[in-house]
């Protein structure tokens, strides 16, 4: 009897393995059934992800909050006792404020580049079991998003649209190991290819063997044919190390992305590129420090009034000036 | 394995899939990430006999293949999970039940979760897919194993209750 049970389970195993292999073969041969089923799943998942995103948006930083809990335990106790309800509201408003700041920055970037964009919230991420680095956003074909469009965030490039449904889209992040983008070293014409590594660093392979790479140089997208999938001039990353080994034919460098892909909450999909190439105009520049000189008013003795023709406010003297930042 | 249990288990797997895709993926885990879905699937398989484990593994793999973010051929996870289901059920018979040796079962669930990812990567390599740098993959697989060990004690008792409730009167005997 037990032997019969074993034989039956082995037969079942073989049948199901063959079925799986059959499905893999169908997929590799390009049968559209499989992609349709995944699109259908995405259409079903997007509203669920959106609802869950609304309820659980503070859950993203669950572990980092736990890590810092000990440091602020005493403060938290006081605050919770005083205004637990207010604290919850503050958390929610901070989350919204963070999203608004990201949205403002990304719209600012798009505005500088004269890019037409559609902005959306991140409602999901590729899970551990998929081995691909993706995010799901809550805008889709209904908002004008289509496959192979560039996606940007406040720092610069995020990735490219991989698939679209009517109300959501999956974006392949630039950190994905399969991600490749043509880039140019800012202020030079040296072109190269940037390769995703699965983490926050990237490899730059320069196409020109005689070109030079310097640490600190910023990379911008080279642009694709018809601006699909990449529009030109989008900031991508900054060179942090140059590989000086002579073993490779092309020069290589390690690059760090300008956008923190782990914390991205709002992104914009570029639906229409600018008529003119923005070239290097979108590269982030350090904000200038504003120095204001405040002049201390001179001590006026009661007897010495202003003489005719003399202003009551004397002109600032350099010695009395002090900079205020 | 009765058809009613296949349906109820499939329902639970779909719920786990929704939780994974909409909630768990939003959490930034410190070490790699946690696949709640694979942990639930391994937990369910751990209560089944060989035939049941193979069927549950196949259904779970097909549902995972439906994930829109996945970049592998459709059927690859089904293949892996069917194979893992069989291997898991074969080895589980020597472990005993959850109430008698809970730690051994949790270790087996975590080991099964890691092994399924390794099998998946091996098949990906055979199919010529790029799943990232070796170091990143190792961190991902070990990280998932670590989180499965942490969370499995919370998940498995619930799955045990579910399994007992879904048994038919004939299966109870």
The alpha carbon dihedral of A165, A169, A170, A171 has a sign of positive
| Interface with A, mutate which of B68, B137, B144 (most A CBs under 10 A) | B68
Indicate if the pLDDT at residue A123 is higher than 70: yes
Chain A partners within 8 Å of B24 (Cβ) = 127
The alpha carbon dihedral of A107, A109, A115, A119 has a sign of negative
- Terminal CA-CA length for chain A: 87
pLDDT of B56 reads: 92
User: What is the residue-averaged pLDDT of chain B?
Assistant: 86
What does the buried/exposed string (b/e) look like for A28-42 if buried means 16 or more CB atoms within 10 Å of the residue's CB?
eeeeeebeeebbebb
Most confident of A229-233, A242-246, A261-265, B102-106: A229-233
Environment class of B117 (CB within 10 Å of its CB; exposed 0-12, middle 13-18, buried 19+):
buried
pLDDT of A325 reads: 39
Indicate if the pLDDT at residue A308 is higher than 60: no
Reference B62, options A292, A198, A113, A38; nearest CA is A38
pLDDT of B49 reads: 85
Q: Which of B27, B83, B143 sits opposite A59 (nearest CB)?
A: B27
pLDDT of B41 reads: 93
DSSP-based three-state secondary structure for A28 = helix
pLDDT of A289 reads: 62
Environment class of B167 (CB within 10 Å of its CB; exposed 0-12, middle 13-18, buried 19+):
middle
B133, A23: Cβ pair inside 8 Å? no
| Interface with B, mutate which of A7, A10, A14, A20 (most B CBs under 10 A) | A20
Q: How far apart are CA B120 and CA B107, in angstroms?
A: 20
Tokens of A324: 């205020």
Measured CA distances, A150 to A134, A181, B99 (Å): 14, 11, 53
Q: How far apart are CA B100 and CA B93, in angstroms?
A: 13
B111 compared with A44, residue with greater pLDDT: B111
pLDDT digits (tens, 9 = 90+) for A174-227: 988 888 899 988 877 788 999 988 888 898 988 877 778 888 888 888 888 888
Indicate if the pLDDT at residue A310 is higher than 60: no
Do A120 and A161 form a contact (C-beta atoms < 8 A)?
no
Residues 6+ positions from A224 with CB-CB distance below 8 Å: A182, A230, A231
Tokens of A310: 């003399």
Q: Tally Cβ neighbours within 10 Å of residue A50.
A: 17
B86, A13: Cβ pair inside 8 Å? yes
B73, A24: Cβ pair inside 8 Å? yes
pTM for this predicted structure? 0.66
pLDDT of A62 reads: 63
| Interface with B, mutate which of A53, A130, A179 (most B CBs under 10 A) | A130
pLDDT of A305 reads: 47
pLDDT digits (tens, 9 = 90+) for B57-82: 999 999 998 888 888 888 999 999 99
pLDDT digits (tens, 9 = 90+) for A51-76: 877 776 666 666 666 666 666 666 76
Taking residues A102-118, report their average pLDDT: 79
Residues of chain A above pLDDT 90, percent: 6
Do B152 and A199 form a contact (C-beta atoms < 8 A)?
no
Taking residues A157-181, report their average pLDDT: 89
What does the buried/exposed string (b/e) look like for B137-158 if buried means 16 or more CB atoms within 10 Å of the residue's CB?
bebbbebbbbbbbebbeebbee
Residues of chain B above pLDDT 90, percent: 32
Reference A175, options A159, A155, A161; nearest CA is A159
ipTM: 0.80
Q: How far apart are CA B162 and CA A184, in angstroms?
A: 57
Indicate if the pLDDT at residue A232 is higher than 80: yes
Do A79 and A91 form a contact (C-beta atoms < 8 A)?
no
B26, A129: Cβ pair inside 8 Å? no
Q: Is residue A163 less than 8 Å (CB to CB) from chain B?
A: yes
């Amino acid at each position: 009897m037990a032997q019969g049970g074993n034989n039956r389970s082995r037969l079942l195993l073989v049948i199901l393995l063959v079925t799986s292999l059959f499905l893999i073969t169908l997929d590799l041969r390009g049968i559209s059934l499989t992609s349709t089923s995944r699109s259908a799943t995405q259409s079903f998942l997007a509203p669920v992800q959106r609802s869950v995103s609304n309820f659980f948006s503070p859950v993203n930083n669950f572990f980092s909050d736990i890590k810092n809990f000990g440091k602020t335990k005493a403060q938290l106790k006081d605050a919770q006792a005083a205004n637990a309800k207010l604290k919850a509201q503050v958390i929610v408003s901070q989350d919204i404020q963070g999203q608004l700041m990201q949205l403002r920055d990304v719209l600012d970037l798009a505005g500088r580049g004269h890019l037409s964009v559609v902005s959306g919230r991140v409602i999901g991420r590729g899970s551990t079991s998929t081995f691909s680095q993706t995010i799901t956003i809550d805008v889709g074909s209904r908002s004008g998003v289509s496959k192979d469009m560039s996606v940007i965030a406040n720092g610069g490039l995020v990735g490219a649209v991989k698939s679209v449904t009517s109300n959501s889209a999956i974006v392949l992040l630039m950190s994905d190991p399969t991600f490749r983008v043509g880039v140019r070293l800012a202020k030079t014409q040296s072109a190269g290819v940037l390769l995703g590594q699965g983490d926050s660093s990237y490899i730059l392979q320069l196409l020109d063997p005689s070109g030079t790479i310097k640490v600190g140089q910023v990379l911008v997208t080279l642009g694709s044919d018809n601006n699909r999938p990449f529009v030109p001039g989008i900031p991508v990353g900054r060179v942090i190390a140059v590989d000086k080994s002579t073993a490779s034919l092309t020069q290589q460098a390690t690059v760090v992305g300008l956008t923190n892909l782990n914390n991205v909450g709002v992104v914009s999909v570029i639906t229409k590129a600018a008529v003119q190439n923005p070239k290097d105009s979108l590269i982030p520049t350090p904000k200038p420090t504003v120095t204001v000189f405040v002049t201390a008013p001179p001590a006026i003795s009661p007897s010495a009034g202003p003489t005719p023709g003399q202003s009551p406010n004397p002109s600032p003297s350099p010695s009395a000036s002090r900079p205020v930042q | 394995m009765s058809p009613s249990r296949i349906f109820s288990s499939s329902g639970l797997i779909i719920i786990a899939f929704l939780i994974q895709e909409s909630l768990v993926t939003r959490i930034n885990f410190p070490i790699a990430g946690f696949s709640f879905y694979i942990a639930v699937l391994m937990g369910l398989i751990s209560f089944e006999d060989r035939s049941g484990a193979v069927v549950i593994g196949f259904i779970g793999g097909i549902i995972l293949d439906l994930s829109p973010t996945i970049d592998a051929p459709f059927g690859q996870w089904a293949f892996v999970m069917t194979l893992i289901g069989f291997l898991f059920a074969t080895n589980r018979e020597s472990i005993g039940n959850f109430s008698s040796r809970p730690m051994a079962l949790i270790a087996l669930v975590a080991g099964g979760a890691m092994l399924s990812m390794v099998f998946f990567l091996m098949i990906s390599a055979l199919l010529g897919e790029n799943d990232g740098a070796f170091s990143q993959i190792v961190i991902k697989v070990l990280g998932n194993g670590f989180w499965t060990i942490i969370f499995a004690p919370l998940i498995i008792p619930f799955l045990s209750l579910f399994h007992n409730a879904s048994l038919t009167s004939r299966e109870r005997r």
